[in-house]
Amino acid sequence: MKQEVIEIDEIKIIVKEIKVKTARKIMSNVIEVLQGEVDVEKLINDKYDLLVDIANDFIIMPDGTSIDDLTYSDIKLKLFPVFKKVNESFLDDLIMVAGLSDLNLNQMKKSSEDSTKPLPN
């Protein structure tokens, strides 16, 4: 299993490669967003505790600290790049699923538009 240790504000954080059970949790929530059932803002606001719980599977903080102790910029500029590096294969698959969803959505739109065009004489 790949992992890296980073230090943010004297807090040593272990970023681990995502396991299959965690990937399934992430995918099920991302698919809700891709299918338009839940928008990203709603996912973050309504499922914040779930997202933090999922993150605890692959972001290991020292006892007495949590992701909530980090600043947004630290997460974005320091933690997320390491997460992307360690979990490159999972993220590639996630992007592929998102791309396929967009392709299917575009195909469905085109089919719908084609069905409303008048037939040629």
C-alpha distance from residue 6 to each of 39, 53, 80, 84 (Å): 31, 20, 11, 13
Residue 86 burial class via C-beta count within 10 angstroms: exposed 0-12, middle 13-18, buried 19 and up: buried
pLDDT tens digits for 1-60? 899 999 999 999 999 999 999 888 888 776 666 666 656 666 667 777 887 888 889 999
The model carries a pTM of 0.68
